[in-house]
Structure formats: structure tokens, C-alpha cells
Amino acid sequence: MTSSRLLTSLATTPEMADLFSDPSIVKTFFEFESALVRAQAMLGMIPASAADTISRAAAAEGFDAEALAREARFSASIAIPLVKALGARVAASDSAAARFVHWGATSQDALDTVMSLLISRAKPILERDHARLAKSLLALSDKHAGTVMLARTLLQPALPTTFGYKVAGWYGSVARSWRRLNESFREAVTLQFGGAAGTLAAYGRQGTALATALGKELKLPVAAAPWHAHRGRLAALVADCGIYAAAVGKIARDISLLMQQEVGELAEAGGGSSAMPNKRNPAGSVLALAAATRVPGLVAACLSAMVQEHERAAGAWQAEWPVVADTLQATGSALAAVAGAIEGLTVYPERMRANIAATHGVIFAEKVRMLVQPKLGREATERLLADAAREAQETARPFREVLRSRPEIISILSREQLDGVDRPEDYLGAAEEFRKKLLEE
Amino acid sequence: MTSSRLLTSLATTPEMADLFSDPSIVKTFFEFESALVRAQAMLGMIPASAADTISRAAAAEGFDAEALAREARFSASIAIPLVKALGARVAASDSAAARFVHWGATSQDALDTVMSLLISRAKPILERDHARLAKSLLALSDKHAGTVMLARTLLQPALPTTFGYKVAGWYGSVARSWRRLNESFREAVTLQFGGAAGTLAAYGRQGTALATALGKELKLPVAAAPWHAHRGRLAALVADCGIYAAAVGKIARDISLLMQQEVGELAEAGGGSSAMPNKRNPAGSVLALAAATRVPGLVAACLSAMVQEHERAAGAWQAEWPVVADTLQATGSALAAVAGAIEGLTVYPERMRANIAATHGVIFAEKVRMLVQPKLGREATERLLADAAREAQETARPFREVLRSRPEIISILSREQLDGVDRPEDYLGAAEEFRKKLLEE
Amino acid sequence: MTSSRLLTSLATTPEMADLFSDPSIVKTFFEFESALVRAQAMLGMIPASAADTISRAAAAEGFDAEALAREARFSASIAIPLVKALGARVAASDSAAARFVHWGATSQDALDTVMSLLISRAKPILERDHARLAKSLLALSDKHAGTVMLARTLLQPALPTTFGYKVAGWYGSVARSWRRLNESFREAVTLQFGGAAGTLAAYGRQGTALATALGKELKLPVAAAPWHAHRGRLAALVADCGIYAAAVGKIARDISLLMQQEVGELAEAGGGSSAMPNKRNPAGSVLALAAATRVPGLVAACLSAMVQEHERAAGAWQAEWPVVADTLQATGSALAAVAGAIEGLTVYPERMRANIAATHGVIFAEKVRMLVQPKLGREATERLLADAAREAQETARPFREVLRSRPEIISILSREQLDGVDRPEDYLGAAEEFRKKLLEE
Amino acid sequence: MTSSRLLTSLATTPEMADLFSDPSIVKTFFEFESALVRAQAMLGMIPASAADTISRAAAAEGFDAEALAREARFSASIAIPLVKALGARVAASDSAAARFVHWGATSQDALDTVMSLLISRAKPILERDHARLAKSLLALSDKHAGTVMLARTLLQPALPTTFGYKVAGWYGSVARSWRRLNESFREAVTLQFGGAAGTLAAYGRQGTALATALGKELKLPVAAAPWHAHRGRLAALVADCGIYAAAVGKIARDISLLMQQEVGELAEAGGGSSAMPNKRNPAGSVLALAAATRVPGLVAACLSAMVQEHERAAGAWQAEWPVVADTLQATGSALAAVAGAIEGLTVYPERMRANIAATHGVIFAEKVRMLVQPKLGREATERLLADAAREAQETARPFREVLRSRPEIISILSREQLDGVDRPEDYLGAAEEFRKKLLEE
């Protein structure tokens, strides 16, 4: 068998890759087929012995995934060769039982349910890593509630803020996104069972009873009706993965920017380079940003695929599997990477303070403006402050000192006001209040 | 002033186009500026007279949108020229008041809040049309609960179903999507108010009190914290529009396929052609499909734009306005078009029945298989049925009759079973049960 | 080793899947490393014996791809563990030689060159299948140059055309798209070799000589400069795959529509169903449409990934591998599927003619209009023709006969004109002329 | 009339917005109608007097765009109300002439040709700005051929490079992208003329002669055949805009990063802030990055729209106009913004050098490695260099000095070698050679 782990080594985690590997898919597919016959036997629709034989055959291993994949292309369905392979196994030992393999079901029932089951198994992985990330962010935010740093807008220094508040913003964003995603998982994980045309006609009056029994066997909720061509729940899951991955990507963007040598406010643990022994790369952030780059296109594909024809689509449905699996894997990869990055993060509060200082205090111009403009008027204030800011930057003198040289300023601001004008701690506004509210979200 | 309605004539509705037009944006922008100073006056932060003067100026009209748009490019912000224009108006009559225009706010506070307000005004438009669509679908489904038609998979005849169930599937899908979208509207419509760096530092200790007051003035909820660089709520709205538009697009795809002359099961009212007087085009479906084609890319753009730098992004934030507005307009266009199409839909039950008949009954092979396979085994059954189906199609004889000529069949099926084997009404399974459950969703 | 063929069984071909499998990637990666040391030895930069030893080790097999993939996440680079693994192999036998493994190169040099080589190997696969498709389309078009059928606009009957012309349209589109794609392959297949920062500084004055030698070893052209952060050539390849896949998708859409039972003008060979023995699914078209649904999102991801930071991106570059490989595989899958579908296509000219006849001739209204309107004026003509078309359709009488009952018509059209008014062969305009020009493209 | 410039003020340029405005579209639409009748008169197909009257009416102004847009939704075509409006104008003065308005043409002929003409007018705008950008980049690169700066990989310092080489990389990328785009413009600008079903049947034997004459009137090349449902040329234009915009976006990303206060190597002219008088924002880069964020989704939509049904699509075609126009406008906006940014760019060579110095020379570890590893072996070298790099960074001593304290180093490197080990000018490799080759591209 030929593995394919290298191509996607940065696009998934080993755990997620295993989940969508051939052995996992075969096993899950046969779980469906096995549960189906067990439920049918229970309802007296097929002989119990047939169900036993089929279940036993379904538990076996050793299917040739490459051959199955090759065959799938002829019918545009991987279910057909899988059912055939199972049927052949059963027939080898019990030709009577073989008659009841996949009894009355349609390919899509099996394939959609398989994907539902795989999704249900992806969820605890994401949930665990989300909990890790959330916990680390909470702790980090609390620890740095009083650590002042530059807020930056359009990549330029704006005003002081705290690192704790910044982290709380990250936390709030992933927490909100997780709530959505969690709900989407709940809705998307659903039995698919409608038979050839979504009516379960093959089972006569027993159709919905069988659906209920099958759902119970597989521990999957049963929707109001089959959803062969109504894919909104799946698309919602994919879209909410997209939102979550982007929220994680935003954290990664910030970390990678704050790790720039010239900024130097954060460092991830790890991240070596093949050619440069001196380098410390934002490896975790890179993985998350790679995911955030890819996922939007996957979401678009999934939405495009929602426009399906009639009771089963010709093309759009068949496009979904890799889209859904890639999205879950990319989200898992981003999440695991950033959870690790946050856990191992080193923070340099002194660099944060130094970067504020390197502005010479001109970032406090707004503070002065609020005090001065009511008296001087807008234009005079803007002119005065822009001029003072320029002088501070050009002469590398504290803005505070430059302001002290301006008669208009000293006529309005007291000595105490001027002395403290550039103390970051005094100009944080509601940062701590917002921080706490975000963490409570 | 130069209008731009033709380019997007099929991509929006006149109502939606008005909502995002220059007069609407200017008016909404100045609502923000006006509410800001009123709230500040109320809290004693600025003189009441200044607030009055500014509010009065903000209510005036006659701004030169093209000039403002031109100027916006220099600062990469439409807020700056708008604030300047307002300031100039105020200053013309009261230079003291002009000092308090946009007092302590940041461009993004105004622009994000403007978009929130526009979104809040788009919602009732969509809500009204969704209600129309839902109501029509409910009625249509009930009316055709017993109208049999072909279920089609991969664009091929599969089994019988009912048009009522098909419509209920459409209904269930848009109903579920609307629930999501409704919730996303609720979350996305939020005041933005954080000042230059999200801390409201300019207002000292009064920041959050001012936010509360401003929210009250504008009738907008206030989030836990400013969300300058955390765009998940907005992206969720856009994504859920995408899901809704796609659900509507699926209806349109089905209608356009059922309107094919060769199928002839449905007809939209209207839809003329410039060159061919005989044609009756699926005009409403076309509009919806056009929207469903465009929206996934808009969602992708919005997700890509979520990866924003620090406290205000350099590029990603500025990409959002057209994306959000185009998505809302496309969704509104699709919805209005399909609501109209459903309201004016003609259904041809006799063509539905004729199309079933044209299969010569071979679509009932599954029914026979369920009866025969337990006795004959899988392979023999498949061979027999494929052979009989081929004969029925080649000789244009009823499948029922062909089956009657097969000894294996008459040894298993009773005369009554064979007589009724191709009655669509007898092979609908749980269609009606599912239909009802979907309508209750 | 764990394979992953089932998830993507409809999204690739076995041949393409092998190309991007672990053994293929490992082999290609070591081809780079081997060529590098051979070129260096040739230029006297490292001992020939070291090059020999490394080349020999690089030809070995048995690397643990899953372990390598796991390790890749720590450095956000699959190259680092691969180089390490090679180094360990070499060191096991010759520690002196081990010093020269990956000598002076950077991870991206290896990884981008590996992708270039894989792309260069994907090309002949696509080229071969494109040639098959083009040849079949040419033959099919010639064979059906005179086969009349309905042209359909907005899924409604418009006018007669020929199947040969329709096929020529398909041909023209894929032929044009191939020309673009062919050129993009030519440009994208390029050595990457720039060293740690794109300057080849590690090699002193020998940098570009080494690049030339390495290009020669690998039979890869050398670009004007390294392109570590300039990805336009790669994005162009991906975009042109997108255009090609969509052109193929359009053929598939048409085939799947013409295969509808109610239309019945075409049939693919093959395409069985698991539940319905009577069905003949458009399996090839489905595979192509699935690809065409996914690829636009992949192209979007690749374009988003072009905005890379400085000399090597943090995230965007690392997003590319699965995007490029998935696009090539999806394109290959669509192409192979449609080439097969065309080769095995059955055409039903009599159904084509019958579908024309089923319009009762109202599709010839335009023809009449051109004769009548200059005399009757636009409005009178439109009224008259719409009225006659309606009567023909409602009474199922030939349009020709209905027209004969209209005095205004017989006053303008001769008996001969009326007799032949609905002969499809007489109203094909320049169809044959266009057909020939398209085939010459 | 209601303008819509504010919503898209950052997404287009005033010039581009005018091009796609209602007056421009109406004018261009009537250019088509006018050219059509002139060509028909020339070929004797309609009376010359009718052509004159229609042409005169088509030159008039004062159409109500909003009313036309409203009406377009009924037929899903803006051509139908436009033709009707023109017909009414002509009929008002000359009812005989009115018979020949839009004579034998189809809506799509007019609309596609209108878009072709608009595209042909967008091209010189882009071409002019590309020439500006290319010229500025060339000059900038030449001026800074010797200006050393940090090359940065994964946002970390890597090795020295030159700003001239960096700019040459930008130049090479936009130059290559422009060549593609230029070619795509050439292919996409094409007459559409096929009549109701792409056969020109309405014109009998004169169809292609009329196409030729019409192409001549409109100065548009005539393709081998109509392309109503074959949209590859248009999609290629859109995709190549996407590549160009992304290449421009990469420049903008780099500028915005180099403008960070902590980096301080570049500054755009302009870019004020509404709240912070001290700020200097990367306004031009922001506009380009906003475009680069949006365009990939537009390209995806255009590719999705290529899968069109039969001879005219139901939905996909109608989705194109806003996609094509938005893409051209976004590309034009990005290009104009970055051209302006480059023209007004301030470069700070001393900060570039200071940022190199701030690494303490550890970025030259690779250089030392190349000298030392052949003697010490890989592992010992890596350990030694990592250790020395750490010491240099922790003690803020020059890497060179730290190395001097290591016996293994001084036993291998000469004093001269060590003295010059951290001279950026001595470790630029082929930077200048590559720079020149890129500029020659």
C-alpha cells in the first residue's frame, strides 16, 4: 500500500490523517453495513443469521484500497466496489447471507453516514485542542493583564494597550467561533438513510422504524428526513471550520508579527531552519497561517456544491468528501499548532515597553488632543500636535519635552498633566474592563 | 451624480441597491456622528449646544459622493473625508462646535457601525421575502402532497416520489438556513466603539458609559469589547448568507431542470426572450442561480479577510465593505427571485405522471428486487432485472409485462403483486411522513 | 504504512495519485539532493567521493513517511526531516560525506524543485489524455456535422443546430485552454535554487554556475532569478488548470443534461447504480463535474497564497503543496473521465430530431419573424407569432399549419416558404462554417 | 439618479468606476446597436434610412437607468429593456425604422460585446499604470543596487541582500504577470455575434459577412465562432487579473511590513489618520492588499461560472458581469495605489543597515558554516554555531567576537576571514547578477 503523508504533512495532524485514512474509512463503511443488517434483523426484515455472517465479514480486514479506489471511478462511487467486496467475502462463506448485504440501501446512505461518523470522531480531537488553547489563552491573558504594549493599527503604533487584553481578544474570538462550530457539529452529525430516492420505499412500511433502529445502532441522531440533496448542515460545518481556522489564523498572524526580530515581543518555542542555525521560526504560526490560507477556498467549494440537482446530484455531491475532510484536517492542524505555540510562548514585556518608548511618546498625541482641542480648536490642535510629533521623532526627544516647549500647551496643561502624559499605564482606558468581559464570554 | 445600476441589475434588488447607495451611506454615517455627540452631551463630555449644531449639520444633504470617494483613496478610509466634510459644515456656522465633531472616535468605529446599521436594515427585507417564500412553499407542498413524480438521481429517473415531498425538502433547507442566518444577523448587528486602539482611552473613565449611551442612541447592542480586528461575527453572517443563497439556488436548479421542454413538469410565470417570441425562460431561477454562482467566492474573500493584523488590519478590513454588501444584495436578489418564481409557479401533474410512464416501469426494478433477491440471490436477480429492464426499454413494453414473461418472477410474485408493481402511489415509502416532518421543522 | 486512496478516489486517477504519493515524493526529493552534490562535485566544490556516497544513499528506499510527516510539523518544513534522514544514512557509512548533504541549499530550494519535477511528470499524463480527448472530439464532430438537434438557451429550446457544431464548441474550448495550460506548464517547470535568502551567497562566486549545473542535472530550466516569494508562474499553472477543468466540466454538464431520460440524446457507456439495476448514470461526467466544483476554490487559495512576505513567506508558501497537487489531480481526473465518456459516447440522432419535432416547430418563429417584421412591424409581428406559437403548443398542431391559417402570414410568405419553414436543415445558418473554423483552431 | 461610489471607494478608481457606470454602459450598449444596423445597411440587409434613424436615436441620452435595472429582473436580462427603450425612441419618430432595431441579434450578442468593449477600454488604463509602476520599480532598483538590507524568511532575519534586488523581484513578478494579462486582454476582447443560438441563422447566408462587418464597425476582432457558452477567454482575463493583483499585493505586503515603526526601512508618502495626528499609514499598500484579499474569490466565481449549460447558460452567464467588472476595478485600484506608493516611497538605507547590525552578525552563521563544516562535521558545526549565536544575542556582542573566542574557529578561519565575516557587502552572492537579469525580463 502506498501512503500519502508527505504531501499534506503541514496540512493535517497525524491523528486527523489517520481518521481519514483508508483503514479508517473501510472500517467505518463496514460499521454502517454491519449496523444496517443488525437493525434489519432486529426488525425481522432479514434472517438473524445473515446479519451475523455479514457483521462478521464486515469486521474483517485486508481490503485492497488501491484496487477499490480504481474501481470507484467506473461508477463514480466508492460505495459500489466496497459493497461488492463485502458481498464477495460474505458469499465466499454463505451465499444466502450475501443476498442481504447493503439490503435496500443506497450508496449515498452509506457514504454520507460514513462521513457523519468520521466527523463525529473529528470533533473530540478539535474539542480537546480547543480546550487546551482556551485554557492557555485564559492563563496568558490573566498573567499579562498589566503588561503594557503597543496597540498597532495598519501596522503602525497607535496607542498603548495591554498584552492581556490582546490575548483576551484572541480568546473571545476563538471562544465565539467554537460555540458556532460546536453547534454545527451537533447538527451535521446525522444519520443519512433514505434509500434510492429518499423515500425508503424499499422497506415498505418499515422504513422509518429501520431508520430509527439504524440510528440507534450507530449512535447517530436521525434527521426529519433524508438529506441526500440538502447539504446545508454539512456546508455550515465547513463554513464554521473556516471561521474558526481564520480566528486561529489571526492569532498566528499576530504572533508571527510580534516575533519579528525588530519587534521581539514574543517567541514561539522551537522552529529551526535547515540552513541557518541562528534562526527561530514561528513554526506553529506558519502551520496555522497555511491552513487559514487554504480553508476559504474549501468553504467556497462546499457552498458551490450545495446547488445540487433533484434527489442526488451529478457532480456536486461527489465533490464533497475531500473538501470536508481537508477542511477538518486543516482546522485541526491550525488549532493544534497554535495551541502548542501559545503553550510554549515566551513573552518579553521589556521589549513591549521599549517599543512604546521608541515612539518617543508621540502615540500619546491623542491624549493631548482631547485636552487641548476644546480650547484651541481642531485645526490649530492638529497642526500643533503634528508639528510636535515630527520634532520629537526627528530629534529623538520625548514628545513630553517637546510639548513643554510649546506655549499653547503649557497654557492649557498643568505640569502634572504633562509629566504623566506618556505613562502607558495611565492611558489604557477600558482595556482591563474589556479584557475581563471577553474572558467571561 | 453617476449611477451604477445596470452593471448589477441582476445582482441585487432595487430596494437593496438603495440601501447601499451613496445617500443611504452618507445618511447612516452621519447618524453615527450625530448619535455620538448626543450621547457625549448627555454624559456632559461636550457642550449640548455643540451636539445640537453637529446633529443639525449631520441631517443636511448635498454631499458630493464622487469627490468624497476620490478623497478616500488618499487615506484608505472613506471616514476621513466624510468627517472632514461634516466638520467643514459645522465650522461654517459654529467653529466652537466643530471642535467636537467625531470627538475621540476612530474611523473604524464609524464605518463598522454604519455597516452594522445597514445590515440591520437589510434584515427585514430578507425576513419579509423569506416569509413569502416559506409560506408559498408550505402551501405548494400541501397542495401537491399526493402528486407523484419521478425522483431523479444523477439526473436519471430513480423511483417515484411526490412533488409535495420535493417541495418540503426545499422548505426544510431554507427554513434551517434561515434559522442560522437569523441568529447570525442578531450577533453581527453590534455597535463598534473602541476609539483609536480599542481601549476607549480618549474618554478616560467614561468610555464604557459612552459606549452604552451610544448603543442606546443607535438602538444597537454593545458587544463585550470592540471588535476592530475580530471579524468572526461578520464573517458568520456572510457565510450564512452563502448557505441560504445556495439553498435557494438548489430550488432554482430544480425548477430550471423541471422547466426543460422535454421534462415540462413546471413553469415559471414570465421570462421572455429578445429574439424568440416562443420562449418561456426560467427567469427567476436564473437570477437565483447567478447569485449562487457568485456568493461562494464572496464568502471565501470574507474568510480570507479575517486574518487581520493586531488592532486594525492593513488591507483585510478595508476589503470587507463591498464583500458584505454584495453578499447581502446577492442573497436578497436570489431570495426575491425564487419567492416570485414559487408564487407564480405552474405545476403539470400530468407531465409528471407521463414522465414516470415513459420509463416503462423499469424504475420499479428495486421493488421487484426486494421481493425476488432473497430467493434468487443477488447475482441472478441483478441479471434478471437488468435484462428485463433492457427488454422493456428496447421494446417499449411495460416492465410489468416483460416480468410476466419470466418464469423465475411468476414463481415468486403473485399476480396481484405483478399487477400493481408499477403503481407509483404504492411505492412512495415514507415520503408523506418525511414531508410532514420537514414542514414542521 | 497507511494509504489514503478512498477519500480521494473520485478526485484523482491512480496514476496521478501515485505521482504525489510518499514514495514518489521521497524519491524526487532525493533526486534533488543527489543532483545537487553531483553538480557540486563537478564544479569541485565538494569531494567527488562525498557526492558518490550521498547519491548512493539517496537512491535507497525504506524511509518512514509517517514519522517524517510527524516531524515536519515541528519545523513547519518537510525538508528538514528528509535532509536529516538522508544525513543519518550517509553518516552511518561515511561521516565525512555526511558533511556535504544539502550543502548550502535551503529547504525551499529542494521543496519547490521537487514540486517542479512532479509538475513536469504530471504534464505528459495530462497531455496524453488531452490528445485522446481532442482526437475523439474531432472525430465525433466530423461524424455529426449533419446531425441536427436543438440548440438550447437558458435550458429551453431555441433553434436548430448540429451536434457536430456543438462538439466543435467543446473542442475549441478545450483546445484553447490546453494551449494556455501547455504554456503555463512550460513556465512553471523551473529549478528553484537561491539558497537561504535567494542570493546563493553560500557558494560565493560559484552560485550561478552551480545553478546552471544543477538545472542541467535535473533537466530543468533555470529562471532569471530564484522565485522563493514570487509565485506567479505556479499560480498561473493552477489557474490554467482551473480553466481547463472548467472547460471539461462544461462538456460534462452538457452530456449529463443530454443523457436525461426525458432528453435521451446521448448516453455514456457504463455508470451502474448500487440499488437500481435499470440505471445508466453519467459516471464520467459526474467525475468531471465534481472536479469542476472543487477547482475554483483551489485556484482562489493559490492566488491568496501569492501575497507572500519578503524572501520566504510565513504560511502562504507552506499552503501551496496540497493546493497545487489537488488541482493537478482534479484536472487529471476530470480530463480522463471526460475523455473516456466521449470515447464511449452513444449518440441518438433520432431523439435529437424528435425533440425538435416536439416543439411543433415553434422554434422557427424567429425565421418567420425575419421575413414578416419588415412588413408588419415589430409589435404586430411579435403578437402574431406569440399567438401562433401558443396555439401550436396548445393544440399540438405544427406551427407551420397554424401559420397557414393566418392571413397576414400567407400574404407575405409563399407556399414554398411556409412548407419549408420548419425544416431544421434549412435553418442552420453558419453552423457548419463555424464548426470547421473551430476544429482548425 | 442615485450614485454608489462610497461603498466601493477603496475598491476602484474614479476612472474605472466611470467606465462601469450607467452612462458608460448605456452608451456602449447603443454603440453595439448602432454598429449593427450600420453594418446591416451596408450589406443591404435593412434600409439605410432605418440605420440612420436608429443610430441617431442610439446616440441620444437620458435613459432612466434605475427603471431599466428594475425591468431587467423580469427577463433576467438588461438587454431586453434597453432594446425596448431604444425601440420606443425610434418608433416615436419613425415606426418603419423601429422594425430593424436589434435586427436578428440576441441579447447576449449585445451584452457580451458591451463587456468586450468595456474591457478594451479598461486595458489602456491598466497599461498606463503598469508602465508607471514598472518605470518606478526599475529606477528604484537601479538606485538601490548597492543598498544592503536584511533578507527575511518566515519574517525572521535570514541573510543580507540588497534593496535593489528586492525591488527587482517585485519588478520581475509584475512584468511577467503583465505579459500574461496583456495576452489575455488581446484574446478576451472579441466580438460576440451568434444570434439566438450561435448559428446566425436569422441572417441566412449573410451571417458571417455581417459578423465581419460588425467587427469592423466596432474595431473588434471576430473569433472563430460565437462563444456564448464558452467563457475560457473571459475567465483567463479574470484569472490573470488575479495573478497581477496578487503580484502587486505582494509588493504592498512587503512595503507595509518595512514601514512598521520597529523596522522603519520604508515610508509611503501620505496616509493620515482621523484620530492620531502622529500616524503615517501605508495607505497605498492598504488599498492594494484590500484588492488582493477580494480578487481570489472573484476568480473562483468566474471559474465556477464557466460550467455553462448548452448554448446559453441559466445563471452562470448572468453571474459574470459584476465579477468581471469588480475584478478589473480591483486590479486597477491595486495597481494605481502601488504605483503611487512606489513613486512616493522614501527609503531609509541607514535603518536597513542598522537592522542588519541589530542581529549582532549572527545572520552570517551560514557563511561560517560553509567554511567550517567540511572540517568539523555537521553536528559539531551546528552545535558550535548555535552556541555562538546564542552567546552573541544574549550578551549583545558581535558574533565575530564571540567566534574569535572559539579555538575551533580560529584554527580554521584566518584573522582576515574573521574580520570580514559580518560585512554584508561581502556576502551578497549573486544578488546583483539576479537583479540585472530580472530587470531584463
Q: pLDDT for D55-111, tens place per residue? A: 999 998 888 999 999 999 999 999 999 999 999 999 999 999 999 999 999 999 999
| Dist CA D149 CA D136 (whole Å) | 20
Q: Which of A273, A304, A405, A414 is catalytic?
A: A273
* CA distances to A18, A59, A72, A122, D282 from A5, in Å: 10, 26, 22, 18, 41
Dihedral class, residue D398 (left if φ above 0, else alpha if ψ from -120 to 50, else beta): beta
Beta carbons of B154 and C261 less than 8 Å apart: no
The residue that leads in pLDDT, D35 or B275, is D35
A20 in reach of chain C (CB within 8 A): yes
Q: What is the SS3 assignment for B266? A: strand
Contacts of B169 in chain A (CB under 8 A): 198, 225, 229-230
CA distance A64 to chain B (A): 22
Structural contact between residues C230 and C320, judged by C-beta atoms closer than 8 angstroms? no
Which one, of B358, D77, B276, lies nearest residue C152 by Cα?
B276
User: Mutate which of D3, D6, D318, D338 to test chain B, going by most B C-beta atoms within 10 A?
Assistant: D6
On chain A, the residues whose CB falls within 8 A of the CB of D389 are 277-278
Among A156, A276, A280, select the one facing D365 at the smallest CB separation: A276
Asked if C438 and D224 come within 8 Å (Cβ–Cβ), the reply is yes
**What gap in Å lies between CA B253 and CA D71, rounded to an integer?**
23
CB contact under 8 A, B68 and D9: yes
Interface contact A207-B430, CB threshold 8 A: yes
As a whole number of angstroms, the distance between CA A439 and CA B9 comes to 45
CB–CB of A432/B225 below 8 Å? no
Write the CB contacts of C166 (distance below 8 Å, at least 6 apart in sequence): C149, C151, C254, D310, D311
Is the Cβ–Cβ distance between B262 and B348 less than 8 Å? no
Catalytic, out of A89, A231, A312, A406? A312
Is 70 exceeded by the pLDDT of residue C78? yes
Q: Do D279 and A159 touch (CB under 8 A)?
A: no
- Residue D165 CA: distances (Å) to CA of C224, D140, D145: 12, 10, 7
Tell if the CB–CB gap between A247 and B233 is shorter than 8 Å: no
State whether residue D309 sits within 8 Å of chain C by CB: yes
Q: Is the confidence at residue C110, as pLDDT, over 80?
A: yes
CA nearest to C270, candidates C259, C262, B159:
C259
Q: Going along D56-207, which residue ranges are E strands? A: 148-153, 156-162
Which residues on B lie below 8 Å from D10 (Cβ)?
Answer: 72-73, 76-78, 318, 321
Q: Is B98 on the interface with A (CB under 8 A)?
A: yes
Interface contact flag, A277 D369, Cβ < 8 Å: yes
CA-nearest residue to D363 within chain A is A278
Q: Do A77 and C2 touch (CB under 8 A)?
A: no
Rounded to an integer, what distance in angstroms lies between the CA atom of residue A57 and that of residue A69?
20
Q: What is the mean pLDDT of residues A364-373?
A: 95
Whether D155 and chain B come into contact, CB under 8 Å, resolves to no
Mean pLDDT value of segment C276-303: 92
| Contact: C306, D250; criterion CB under 8 Å | yes
Query: Which residue has cell 447558460?
Result: D313
Residue for grid cell 462478521: A56
CB contact under 8 A, A366 and B201: yes
Chain A residues in contact with C299 by the CB 8 A cut-off are 297
Cα–Cα distance for residue pair D110/D83, rounded to 1 Å: 10
Residue where the block lists cell 465565539: A176
Q: In the structure grid, which three cell numbers stand for residue D381, read together?
A: 558545526
| Active-site residue identified among C49, C95, C273, C411 | C273
Coil, strand or helix: which one is C290? helix
Cell numbers placing C291: 472536479
Interface of B with A in 323-362 (CB under 8 A): none
What is the pLDDT, as a whole number, of residue D2?
83
CA distances from B117 to B186, B215, D178 (A): 12, 11, 41
Average pLDDT over residues C13-25: 97
Grid coordinates given for C229: 516569494
What does pLDDT average to over chain A? 96
C-beta neighbour count of B221 within 10 angstroms: 12
d(CA D11, CA B287): 25
Give the active site residues of D: 273, 312
- Centroid of chain to Cα A323: 14
Judge: A22–C4 Cβ closer than 8 Å, yes or no: yes
pTM over 0.90: yes
Question: Among D137, D150, D306, which would you mutate to test the C interface (most chain C Cβ atoms within 10 Å of its Cβ)?
Answer: D306
For C305, name the nearest residue in chain A, comparing CA atoms only.
A293
Is residue C382 very low, low, confident or very high in pLDDT (cuts 50, 70, 90)? very high
- At D195 the pLDDT is 96
Give A396's DSSP letter.
T
Give yes or no for C159 touching B (CB within 8 A).
yes
Q: Given CA atoms B289, B290, B293, B296 in this order, what sign does their dihedral have? A: negative
The dihedral of CA B341, B347, B352, B354: what is its sign? negative
Of A282, A296, A359, which is closest to D154 when you measure between CB atoms? A282
* CA–CA gap between residue A88 and residue C234 (Å, rounded): 46
Asked whether the beta carbons of residue C277 and residue B153 sit closer than 8 angstroms, the reply is no
| Rama region for A102: left / alpha / beta (φ>0; ψ in -120 to 50; rest) | left
d(Cα C114, Cα C134) in Å, to the nearest integer?
A: 30
- Sequence-distant (6+) residues with CB within 8 A of A88 are none
What confidence score (pLDDT) does residue B276 get?
59
3 state DSSP class of C77: coil
For residue A93, how many other CB atoms are within 10 A of its CB? 11
- Looking only at the bridges linking them, the beta strands covering C156-162 and B346-347 are unpaired
Report the 10 Å Cβ neighbour count for D61: 8
Q: Which amino acid is at C418?
A: L
Q: What angle do CA A143, A146, A148 make, to 5 degrees?
A: 115
Query: Which residue reads 497531455 in cell numbers?
Result: C127
A residues 37..56 contacting C (CB < 8 A): none
Binning pLDDT at 50, 70 and 90, where does residue D258 land? very high
**Residue A153 sits at the chain B interface (C-beta within 8 Å):** yes
| Shortest CA gap B175–chain A (Å) | 10
Q: Which residues have a Cβ under 8 Å from the Cβ of C378 and sit 6 or more positions away?
A: D87, D91, D98, D99, D101
Give yes or no for B208 touching A (CB within 8 A).
yes
**Average pLDDT, integer, range C102-111:** 96
Residue C312 among the catalytic residues: yes
Q: Which residues pair with B312 in a beta bridge?
A: A153
Q: Which residues of D touch C100 (CB under 8 A)?
A: 374
Provide, as residue numbers in chain D, all residues whose Cβ is less than 8 Å from the Cβ of C249: 306-307
What is the Cα–Cα distance from D438 to D441, expressed in whole angstroms?
5
d(CA B310, CA A258): 9
Which listed residue (B231, B312, B400, B406) is catalytic? B312
- Distance, CA of B262 to CA of B150 (rounded, Å): 14
Distance CA D214, CA D226 (A): 13
Neighbours of A120 (CB within 10 A): 17
Most distant CA atoms of chain C, gap in Å:
103
A73·C287 Cβ contact <8 A? yes
Share of chain A above pLDDT 90, in %: 95
pLDDT for C34-64, tens place per residue?
Answer: 999 999 999 999 999 999 999 999 998 888 9
CB nearest to A5's CB, from C65, C282, C292: C65
Partners of D286 on chain B (C-beta within 8 Å) are: 76, 314-315, 318
Query: B64 CB contacts (<8 Å, ≥6 apart)?
Result: none
Q: What is the pLDDT along chain B (441 residues), one digit of tens a residue?
A: 588 999 999 999 999 999 999 999 999 999 999 999 999 999 999 999 999 999 999 998 888 999 999 999 999 999 999 999 999 999 999 999 999 999 999 999 999 999 999 999 999 999 999 999 999 999 999 999 999 999 999 999 999 999 999 999 999 999 999 999 999 999 999 999 999 999 999 999 999 999 999 999 999 999 999 999 999 999 999 999 999 999 999 999 999 999 999 999 999 997 665 555 566 899 999 999 999 999 999 999 999 999 999 999 999 999 999 999 999 999 999 999 999 999 999 999 999 999 999 999 999 999 999 999 999 999 999 999 999 999 999 999 999 999 999 999 999 999 999 999 999 999 999 999 999 999 998
Asked if pLDDT for residue D271 goes beyond 70, the answer is no
**Cβ–Cβ below 8 Å for A316 and C293:** yes
Catalytic residue among B75, B93, B273, B405: B273
CB < 8 Å to D229, chain C? 169, 250
A residues 382..441 contacting C (CB < 8 A)? none
Q: Provide the 3-class DSSP secondary structure of residue C267.
A: strand
Angle value at C-alpha B161, between B156 and B164, nearest 5 degrees: 125
**Minimum-distance CB partner of A75 among C65, C106, C283:** C283
Could D289 and B314 be called an inter-chain contact, meaning their C-beta atoms sit closer than 8 Å? yes
Q: Is the pLDDT of residue A273 over 60?
A: no
β-strand partners of C150:
C160
Mutate to test the interface with D, among A276, A353, A366, A376 (most CBs of D within 10 A): A276
Interface contact flag, C232 D246, Cβ < 8 Å: yes
pLDDT at C309 over 70: yes
Cross-chain CB nearest to B10 (options D23, D271, D318): D318
Residue type, A129: D
